[in-house]
Structure formats: C-alpha cells, structure tokens
Amino acid sequence: MTQYRKLLLPLITTMTLAGPALADGDAGIGGKLYRACLACHSLQTGVHLSGPSLAGIWGAKAGKNTGFVRYSPGLKAADFNWDKDTLNAWLANPDAMISGTTMKFRGIAQNGKRADLIAFLRLAMVPGGSGDVVAKGLVTESFIQGQQPPNMQPTPKHKQITNIRHCGNAYFVENGNGDKTSHWEKNIRLKIDSQATGPAPGTPVIHGAGMRGDRFSVIFSSLDELKNTLKEKC
C-alpha cells in the first residue's frame, strides 16, 4: 500500500500541474469534425478566407501566415508554435488563449472530440498534408478548398457592367446586353473582390440580384478600378 502511494503521489501532482494529457485521437472522426472549420478556412497554401489558410502550419509559429493581413493584435504578437498542446488549448476556447481573437468560434468542449480533430490536423496541416488526407480518404477535396466564394468568371453578359455612374441618390447602370437601369443608392452594395476567382479586371460584375433585381452588389476587381470607373456624373 505504502509503495503504491509513493508511486501515485508524484504522478497525480504532475497531472494536476500540466493538465490531463490529451489522448491520441482518431483522424477519421477528426476529418468529419473538420466540417466546423470550412466556413472560414481552406487547407490550400495561400488561400485565405475570413480566417488564414491552415496549410503547412503544423509546427510553424502562430499568427505568421504569409499574405494574411487581418490577424488580431494578440495572435499577431504570439510567440508559440502550433502543436498538439497549443491546438488543444486554442480549440477548447480561442478567446481564453488569445484574448480578443477574431476567430469567432465558441470552442469544442469535449476532450475526445478535440483529440480526434487534432489527430486529423496533424496529418492535414503538415506541408503537403492536404493531398495526403484526400488520398487516404479522410476528407474530400471540397474540405481542402473550404467555403471559397464561387468563381465569378466567366460572367454572363447581363451580369457584366459596362457603365456605372452615380447621380443624386441613384446609380445608373448599363450591362453587357446594353440594358440601362437606375437604382436607389441604398439598394446597391459596392464590393471589391481581388481574388483570382473574382471579376475579371475591367469588368465589374452584378452579383446576388434578388428576385425583383432591385437590390444587388456591384463587385470590382480592385480599389483602383472602383475609383476609376465610378464617378459622380448627372
């Protein structure tokens, strides 16, 4: 009995200090749980959605993904690497780890689920890992892409804008078919989509027209294009 106690006591003390170690999870189940991340992340190098690409960041420094310019100050200044333990804390409660993080995700409470997801991420987030997890049948290609916006090209003529001007409280628009329409300014949203899947440079696009077509977005390929195309002219 005394012998057991001698063995158990240091074990319990270490576990309390470090927190219970995360058991190894099941990457197959983890691949299915990864669905929760698709709205904001891709696993393709350099393809950033509302969150940064997760490709190749296993073992890399947090908050340093090239080309992602919207890190919160906390994550940008972080000085740790992504591994099993740091991901475990992050996925349990992002805001508890990095206060003020812009990852609006309430976290995964169950240890077992986090372990499964991390087992998947360990395969998917190493360089070249996204190809491997598809080859192994853990996820389909659509999970690697994440929920990227639909490709705007090629754009049908009636959705191409050949002329747009602002006058008074209205926009006057001409489309690729030569149809001329006018719209109350508050019904039109101006957007920029600079990604390769966005509008072709030089051709702003009408997007998301409702049933009656009186509300829609006009999407430009760059800020310069917006500034050069759209003028106040009556």
The interaxial angle of helices 111-124 and 84-92, nearest 10 deg, is 130
* Region binding ligand HEC by CB under 6 A among candidate stretches 8-16, 62-70, 161-169, 181-189: 62-70
Strand order in the sheet with 170-175: 180-184, 170-175, 161-167, 231-232
Question: Nearest-CA neighbor of 74 among 44, 95, 93, 88?
Answer: 95
Tokens of 205: 């696009």
Using the minimum distance from each CB to ligand HEC, give the nearer residue, 68 or 172: 68
Question: Nearest-CA neighbor of 203 among 183, 229, 223, 234?
Answer: 229
Within 10 A of 114 (CB to CB), how many other CB atoms are there? 23
In the chain, the largest separation of any two C-alpha atoms, in whole Å, equals: 94
Among residues 25, 30, 63, 204, the one that binds ligand HEC under rule CB under 6 A: 63
Helices (H) and strands (E) in the chain, counts: 9, 7
- Closest CB 77 distance from ligand HEC, rounded Å: 10
Q: Which helix (H) or strand (E) segment is 115 a member of?
A: helix 111-124
Q: Which of residues 132-191 bind ligand HEC (CB under 6 A)?
A: none
Among residues 81, 95, 105, 165, the one that binds ligand HEC under rule CB under 6 A: 105
Among residues 27, 55, 97, 103, the one that binds ligand HEC under rule CB under 6 A: 103
Total of residues contacting ligand HEC (CB under 6 A): 25
Among residues 43, 55, 75, 164, the one that binds ligand HEC under rule CB under 6 A: 75
- Closest CB 80 distance from ligand HEC, rounded Å: 10
C-beta separation of 44 from 53 below 8 A: yes
C-beta separation of 62 from 89 below 8 A: no
- Closest CB 98 distance from ligand HEC, rounded Å: 6
**Contact string 20-59 vs ligand HEC (x = CB under 6 A):** ----------------xx-xxx--------xxx-x--x--
> How far apart are the C-alpha atoms of 45 and 29, rounded to whole Å?
24
Among residues 42, 65, 130, 203, the one that binds ligand HEC under rule CB under 6 A: 65
Using the minimum distance from each CB to ligand HEC, give the nearer residue, 75 or 205: 75
Among residues 43, 62, 97, 144, the one that binds ligand HEC under rule CB under 6 A: 62
Binding site for ligand HEC (CB under 6 A): 36-37, 39-41, 50-52, 54, 57, 62-63, 65, 71-72, 75, 82, 91, 98, 101-105, 121
